[in-house]
DNA sequence: GATTAATCGAGACGGTACGTCATGTCTTAGC
DNA sequence: GCTAAGACATGACGTACCGTCTCGATTAATC
């Protein structure tokens, strides 16, 4: 069950495989080249031609397996990043969430931040990319996160009346926002403050604020 | 005190204005054309040539005043959108914040959402665009928002120990996130939940959770 | 031994011909279009874009094979004109020369005259064009002419003490001059007079003029 | 009686000259700049803008007085070259002719040769330039030359049955031809041979050749 | 001395063509 | 039936000059 290869044409299992089989080696060379180019120049600066040249492959070969640059970039990105992100499972659900939030921040701060942002932006116009980012990048992380939230609700750490989705948006939203807009630092201090605000809320506690439910 | 014109060459106050003066009419025609094209096709689909044609201007004239498509798009976007967003000033600071959050959401949901997202993404690679988005789009809104937060702190509605910046990130981050990724709806119900989570926090109150300060 | 193709990349005999081979059909379409445009508008009025459009080819394809407009024009001109000029071989060398002179005059008077003049002028600044005109246009005609002159010398029709090159310059120079400057007619009467002057000289015969050897 | 200024709008003598009079200094600066640019880059490489810049004049000023680049170039060329060519008047008409031929060759060999060629070529498409070259460059020289020829006829040096125009074409044609095509040297030896061929003819004298009158 | 008319500089403007780049399709030969 | 190489049409890019058009500043001759 590979995560990658999503956009690429699925190998129809039934076919008796006539002719020369697809070269796995070429496919990997292309993905590697794409990753290298993405890191070096960002989605916008990358061209299919430069990837082809670096991979020692022909453009046609690329076009046979990926419909366009964004699809290839998505595949390359996911192949490179997906393996590096794991989900911890500790005693406290809240602690697990905090841990995840911080490790995501590290990823976004690193050299993949700009690539992710580019892909997200691309996904706005290109539905296939958007779908891929939702299904293959965000989806798995969300699913795992949701489970942690539900665990926290069960254990009484997290209020029962909040939407788990909204909890995740509240934790990750501020981080993505700063990644994309760069209007403030993305450091440990920021993480701590976001965490505090999300956990305890921003309303002054004594006053029993009833800000219109 | 015009908001627009930022990227465009500032009027050198001192110079005695030699030569034919810049035509304000042409400048407006170009901005209007850019706005129309952006609305119709999004940043990616727009070309300088199409803007020039629609504006009845020449490409050279555009290149004389804007270094590239993104800079022009930024100017056009700000000229079109900036006037439409006002900051309310009511009795309750929290209510004002909620109001703003909702009106921003409306803007982002409309046809400008994709344009904003594109510009934000562009700003990641293109520093001038990024700076413009920070300075001219986010900046003024942030400044006003910060004042409201401070008002809320002073009146005792908002906790004194939260960073005003983080408050704004907590409110707007989730919305921008959904605009960019589209993983969930952006409706009144969502707004209500984000608001509730941000105001009251996600931690269960009774337990006195001390999630590592 | 093709006359055309000169400026175009010579066929590398050794290479095993990888990739899609050059389309001969496109090459001919471009040359035809160039010829048509040259006839209609002259070298100066022709644009690469108009040739591309008329040929149904892309500009890139043209630029791949010809470095600039002049090179293409030279090729087109030679492809169109070269086949139409033949060298007679009669009993009298002088008669052959006269015949040639007249037929050249006809060519220069026709619609190719201006094109030739343009190319000659272009060749003054552009060495490749100049070389092409010398090697591929003038050269073959000169070589043939020289032979005729030598034949005339052998047969005793032409003085042995004149440089064959100068004989040709003396015959063709006046014609080219009138083509380029247009200061006088280019008709049969003129041809006859040029011929007479060249053959018998301008000095009065009786006087035994010894105009400083 | 200035030779220059031909194409430039003639000063209508009658007008009472209201307003600021044309600045002679600017006119000269423009002509000088044009000459310098022509020498440096040839007609094709010169732009009105570069002349304007070098002259410290504005494009409008140039366009006010000359309709286009070629007209200005013609004026500049004639202003620069015309004074340098004089017509000798010696004892022998043939000697005078030979002298002229050689001095013209010197001019054409120098750095003005390419400019002349360019202007001649330009004159093929642009009637005004062609006319100017005929009227102002060739014309005066021809008129003087014709007189010398007639003098030679009267003195019995030159045959009476040749057209004076053809005599001049026969002498100058070969030289212009080599200037424009560059297929052979333009040196003293060449001049001598052209002269000999023109004067004595190319036909072998003894044979009484009657090359079809 | 003020007015008037033309000239000059600077530079904005619409336009045409340039020569280049990347895209995505295609055609051939080799494996 | 894949692959590498490379030709091709398309469309946009950013640039160079063109020739026209305002501007403000001069510069006389006329009022």
pLDDT tens profile D47-70: 999 999 999 999 999 999 999 899
In this prediction, residue D211 has a pLDDT band, given cuts at 50, 70 and 90, of very low
Q: What six digits make up the tokens of C155?
A: 């047969």
Dihedral angle at the C-alpha atoms of D81, D83, D87, D89, nearest 10 degrees?
A: -160
For residues B76-111, one letter each, b for 16 or more C-beta atoms within 10 angstroms of the residue's C-beta and e for the rest, the string is: bbbbbbeeeeeeeeeebbbbbbbbbbeebbeebeee
Share of chain C above pLDDT 70, in %: 86
In this prediction, residue B121 has a pLDDT band, given cuts at 50, 70 and 90, of confident
pLDDT of D17 reads 67
- Asked if residue C50 has pLDDT above 90, the reply is yes
Share of chain B above pLDDT 70, in %: 87
Residues in chain A, pLDDT under 70? 1-22, 84-88, 206-213
Q: Which residues contact D193 (CB under 8 A, 6 or more apart)?
A: C162, C163, C166
CA of D17 to C1' of F27 (A): 13
From the CA of D194, how many Å to the nearest CA of chain C? 6
Query: Do chains B and C touch, with touching meaning 3 or more CB–CB pairs less than 8 Å apart?
Result: no
pLDDT digits (tens, 9 = 90+) for D159-191: 999 999 999 999 999 999 999 999 999 999 999
Helix, strand, or coil here: C25? helix
Q: What six digits make up the tokens of D95?
A: 């000697």
- Asked if residue B15 has pLDDT above 80, the reply is no
Helix, strand, or coil here: C108? helix
D-chain CB neighbours of C124 within 8 Å are 42, 114, 117-118, 121, 180, 182
D186: contact with C, CB 8 A cutoff: no
- Asked if residue D138 has pLDDT above 80, the reply is yes
pLDDT of D11 reads 40
Overall average pLDDT of the D95-113 stretch: 89
Report phi then psi at D158, rounded to 5. Answer: -115, 140
Q: Tell me which range, A151-160, B89-98, C79-88, is most confidently predicted by mean pLDDT.
A: A151-160
| Residue at token pair 């009786």 | C206
Q: What six digits make up the tokens of A142?
A: 């969300």
Q: How far is CA B212 from CA A92, A106, B205, B208, C17, in A?
A: 11, 20, 15, 12, 71
Long-range contacts of C143-150, Cβ-Cβ distance < 8 Å, separation of 24 or more: C144/C87, C145/C87, C145/C97, C145/C100, C148/C87, C148/C93, C148/C96, C148/C97, C148/C100, C149/C93, C149/C97
Other beta carbons within 10 Å of D185: 11
Overall average pLDDT of the B67-85 stretch: 88
Q: Half-sphere exposure of residue D154, counting CA atoms within 13 Å on the CB side? A: 9
Q: Which residue has the higher pLDDT, D212 or C127?
A: C127
- Asked if residue B69 has pLDDT above 50, the reply is yes
B26: contact with A, CB 8 A cutoff: no
User: Rounded distance, CA A146 to CA A144, Å?
Assistant: 5
Angle, helices A24-45/A48-55, rounded to nearest 10 degrees: 140
C-chain CB neighbours of D182 within 8 Å are 123-124, 130, 134
- What residues of chain A, 30 to 49, have a C-beta less than 8 Å from chain B? 42, 44-45
B-chain CB neighbours of A44 within 8 Å are 125
User: Rounded distance, CA D179 to CA D171, Å?
Assistant: 14
CA of A118 to C1' of F11 (A): 24
Helix, strand, or coil here: D203? strand
| Residue at token pair 């005339």 | C152
pLDDT digits (tens, 9 = 90+) for C99-127: 989 988 998 998 888 889 889 888 888 88
**The dihedral sign for the CA sequence D129, D133, D136, D137:** positive
Q: Cβ within 7 Å of strand F: which of B 157-196?
A: none
Dihedral angle at the C-alpha atoms of A123, A126, A131, A132, nearest 10 degrees?
A: -80
Q: Which residue has the higher pLDDT, B70 or C7?
A: B70
By the 10 Å C-beta count (0-12 exposed, 13-18 middle, 19+ buried), C95 is classed as: middle
Q: How far is CA A97 from CA A87, A110, A154, A202, D37, in A?
A: 9, 20, 15, 19, 74
Closest to A30 in 3D by CA, of A1, A84, A73, A67? A73
pLDDT digits (tens, 9 = 90+) for D68-81: 899 999 999 998 88
pLDDT of D42 reads 86
- Chains in contact with D via at least 3 Cβ–Cβ pairs below 8 Å: C
- Asked if residue B175 has pLDDT above 60, the reply is yes
Q: Which residues contact D109 (CB under 8 A, 6 or more apart)?
A: D179, D186
B157: contact with A, CB 8 A cutoff: yes
pLDDT of A88 reads 65
Q: How far is CA D175 from CA C96, C165, C203, D162, D172, in A?
A: 24, 12, 20, 20, 5
A28: contact with B, CB 8 A cutoff: no
User: Could you tell me how many CB contacts below 8 A there are between chain A and chain B?
Assistant: 218
DSSP-derived secondary structure letter, D158: B
- Chains in contact with B via at least 3 Cβ–Cβ pairs below 8 Å: A
From the CA of A157, how many Å to the nearest CA of chain B? 6
State which nucleotides on strand E lie below 7 Å from a protein beta carbon.
4-31
Dihedral angle at the C-alpha atoms of C145, C151, C154, C155, nearest 10 degrees?
A: -120
How big is the CA angle at D27 (ends D26 and D32), to the nearest 5 degrees? 95
Taking CA atoms, what residue in A is nearest to B204?
A: A159
What is the full DSSP assignment across C38-77?
HHHHHHHH--HHHHHHHHT--HHHHHHH-SSHHHHHHHHH
CA of B13 to C1' of E17 (A): 37
pLDDT of C4 reads 42
pLDDT digits (tens, 9 = 90+) for C1-32: 233 443 334 444 455 678 888 889 999 999 99
pLDDT of B194 reads 95
Contact, D150 CB vs strand F, < 7 Å: no
Q: Is A159–B121 a contact, with Cβ atoms under 8 angstroms apart?
A: no
User: Rounded distance, CA D182 to CA C138, Å?
Assistant: 11
Overall average pLDDT of the C79-100 stretch: 81
Q: Cβ within 7 Å of strand F: which of D 173-202?
A: none
Measured CA to C1', the nucleotide nearest C26 is F8
Is A171:A97 a contact under the CB 8 Å cutoff? Answer: yes
Give the one of A124, A157, A163 whose C-beta lies nearest to B118's C-beta.
A124
A106: contact with B, CB 8 A cutoff: no
| Residue at token pair 């930022």 | B6
Rg of chain B, C-alpha, whole Å: 21
Contact, A54 CB vs strand F, < 7 Å: no
Pure H helices in chain D: 24-45, 48-55, 59-65, 69-81, 93-109, 113-125, 127-132, 139-155, 164-181, 188-200
B-chain CB neighbours of A174 within 8 Å are 166, 169-170, 173
A-chain CB neighbours of B124 within 8 Å are 42, 114, 117-118, 121, 180, 182
Other beta carbons within 10 Å of C156: 13
Is A194:B169 a contact under the CB 8 Å cutoff? Answer: yes
User: Rounded distance, CA B175 to CA B170, Å?
Assistant: 9
Contact, C19 CB vs strand F, < 7 Å: yes
User: Rounded distance, CA C82 to CA C32, Å?
Assistant: 14
Most C CBs within 10 Å: which of D92, D124, D136, D154, as the mutation test of the C interface? D124
Give the one of C181, C195, C213 whose C-beta lies nearest to D120's C-beta.
C181
Give the one of A42, A160, A211 whose C-beta lies nearest to B199's C-beta.
A211
Q: Is A177–B182 a contact, with Cβ atoms under 8 angstroms apart?
A: no
B1: contact with A, CB 8 A cutoff: no
Q: Cβ within 7 Å of strand F: which of B 20-39?
A: 20-21
Measured CA to C1', the nucleotide nearest B18 is E10
If you measure CA to C1', which residue is closest to nucleotide F6? C19
User: Rounded distance, CA A168 to CA A178, Å?
Assistant: 16
How big is the CA angle at A66 (ends A65 and A70), to the nearest 5 degrees? 165
From the CA of C9, how many Å to the nearest CA of chain D? 24
CA of A105 to C1' of F28 (A): 76
User: Rounded distance, CA D65 to CA D11, Å?
Assistant: 11
């Amino acid at each position: 069950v590979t995560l990658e290869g999503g956009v690429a044409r699925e190998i129809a299992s039934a076919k008796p495989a006539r002719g020369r089989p697809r070269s796995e080696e070429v496919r990997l060379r292309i993905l590697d080249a794409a990753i290298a180019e993405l890191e070096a120049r960002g989605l916008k600066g990358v061209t299919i031609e430069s990837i082809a040249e670096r991979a020692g492959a022909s453009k046609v070969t690329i076009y046979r397996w990926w419909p366009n640059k964004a699809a290839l970039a998505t595949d390359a990105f996911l192949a490179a990043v997906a393996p590096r992100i794991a989900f911890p499972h500790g005693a406290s659900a809240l602690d697990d969430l905090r841990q995840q939030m911080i490790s995501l921040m590290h990823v976004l701060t690193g050299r993949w931040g700009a690539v992710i942002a580019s892909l997200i932006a691309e996904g706005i116009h290109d539905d296939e990319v958007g779908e891929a980012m939702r299904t293959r990048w965000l989806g798995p992380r969300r699913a795992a996160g949701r489970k942690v939230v539900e665990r926290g609700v069960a254990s009484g750490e997290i209020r029962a009346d909040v939407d788990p989705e909204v909890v995740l948006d509240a934790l990750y939203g501020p981080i993505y926002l700063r990644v994309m807009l760069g209007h403030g630092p993305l450091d440990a201090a920021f993480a701590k403050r976001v965490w505090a605000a999300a956990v305890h809320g921003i309303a002054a506690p004594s006053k029993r604020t009833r800000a219109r439910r």
